[in-house]
Amino acid sequence: MKQDHHNQPTRLIFNIITFRFLLFFLCIYFFLVGIHSLSKSFTLFTGPFAQSLFAEIKNPFVGFCVGVLATALMQSSSATNSIAITMVSAQIISLTQVIPIIMGANIGTTVTNSMLALTRIKHHYSFERAFAASTVHDFFNILTACILFPLEIKFHFIEKASLWFFHMFVGNGISLQNDFKSPIKIAIDQTTNYIHRILEFYPILYLFISMLLVLLMLIFILKILKNTFLTRLKANLNTTIFQTPLTAWSTGALFTFIVQSSSITTSLIIPLAIEDVLTLEQIYPYTVGANFGTGITTFLAALSLNRVAFVAAIAALIFDIIGTCIIYPMPIIGSIPLWFAKNLGKSVRKYKIISILYLLLFFILIPLIIVLF
C-alpha cells in the first residue's frame, strides 16, 4: 500500500508528460493543416490573377518575376510549376521560358514562413529570431538564382543538362513511374480537403479560420515547449540531428522527402527558432536540405507524367543540387545568406515596418511592376 502511495506522484507526472507529448504532436498536426489551408484559401483569392500573369511572359527576367509573384500569391510553388508545365505541354511557352519560372518559384515559396514569423511581431527578440530563421531560406534561394540565372540565360546549361538526363533515362528504357505516397501528407491532405470542401464558397471565412488555426496552434506549441520539455529538447537536438551542418542538412532533406513538402519542413523550424532552441547557423543547413528534398520530391512526382513535366522536374533538381553541392559549401559566398538574415532580423527588431516592406516590395510590388510594365 505504501509503495503504491509513493508511486502515485510518479505516475501522475508520467501521465501529465505523456498527455502533453501527445497534445504537442496533435498541435503540430493541426498547425500543418492550417498552413495548407492557408495556401488553399489564398489560391481562391489570387489564383485566377496569378494564372493570368503567365500570359505576360516576354523575356526570361519577366518569367523569373512571374515565378516569384505567382508563388507568393498562391502560397504554393507546386501550383506555379504545374501551371507552367501545363503551358509548356500546350506549347504556349517553351522549355527555355519555364526554367526561369521554376527559379522564381523557389524564391516565392518561402513567403509562408515569413508570414508565420509576423505572428511574433510584438515580441522583440523572438520576432528577430523567427524572421531571421524564415528569411535565411529566402536569401539562399536568391543567392543561388543570382548566380545561376545569368549563366542559364547565356549558356542554357540547365536546360541542356535536363534534356540530356531525360534522354539518358528514357533512352535506356527506364520506367517512369512513382507509387510513393507519404502517409503524413495523406493524413494532412485528408483534413485539409475536408475543410476546403466546407469553406471553399466562403473565401473570407476560409482565410480567417486558416489564419486563426495557425496562430492558435503556434501559441499552444510554444506553451507546451516552454512548460514541458524545452531544455531537454534543446539538448537532444544539439547532440543529435542538429549536431553538425551535415546532420541538419540530411534531416531537412529526408523530412522533406518523407512529407513531400518543403513548406511543412521549414514551417516546423519557426517555433524552435522563436524559443531559441536552435541557432540560425543550425537552421541554415536544414533549410538548404529542405531545398534538396523538394527537388527530389518534384522529380519523383514527375516520373509518371509527360516528357515536359519530367524535363522541368530535372531542371528544378539540377538547380537545387548546384545550390546545395556548390554554392552552400563555398566559404565566403555560402555564408552570405546567414549575414543578410542576421542583419535583417536585427533591423526588424528595431523597426517592425521593415518586415512588412520586405515582404511587400520583394515578393509582390517589384515583381508585379516588372511583369506588368
Task: Supply the pTM of this predicted model.
Answer: 0.84
CB atoms within 10 A of CB 17: 12
Which three cell numbers mark 299? 522529380
DSSP 279: -
Diameter of the chain measured on Cα atoms: 83
Alpha-carbon distances, residue 286 vs 129, 147, 254, 319 (angstroms): 15, 21, 10, 17
Cα separation, 371 vs 66, in Å, equals 7
Cα separation, 223 vs 24, in Å, equals 9
List the chain pLDDT tens, one digit each, 373 residues.
555 555 566 666 566 667 878 888 898 889 888 888 887 887 787 777 777 888 778 899 999 999 999 888 887 777 787 778 777 777 778 888 889 999 999 898 888 888 889 988 888 899 999 999 999 999 999 999 999 999 999 999 999 999 898 887 665 555 555 555 667 778 888 999 999 999 988 888 998 999 899 889 888 888 887 766 666 777 778 878 898 999 999 999 998 888 777 877 888 899 889 988 899 999 999 999 998 988 887 777 666 666 777 788 888 889 989 999 899 999 899 999 999 999 999 999 999 999 999 999 999 999 999 998 8
Q: Give me the residue label for grid cell 486563426.
A: 212
Cα separation, 338 vs 228, in Å, equals 31
Are 242 and 278 in contact, with CB atoms under 8 Å apart?
A: yes
Cα separation, 206 vs 255, in Å, equals 28
Alpha-carbon distances, residue 111 vs 77, 221, 340 (angstroms): 11, 21, 16
What residue ranges do the domains of the chain occupy? 2-372
Cα separation, 325 vs 249, in Å, equals 11
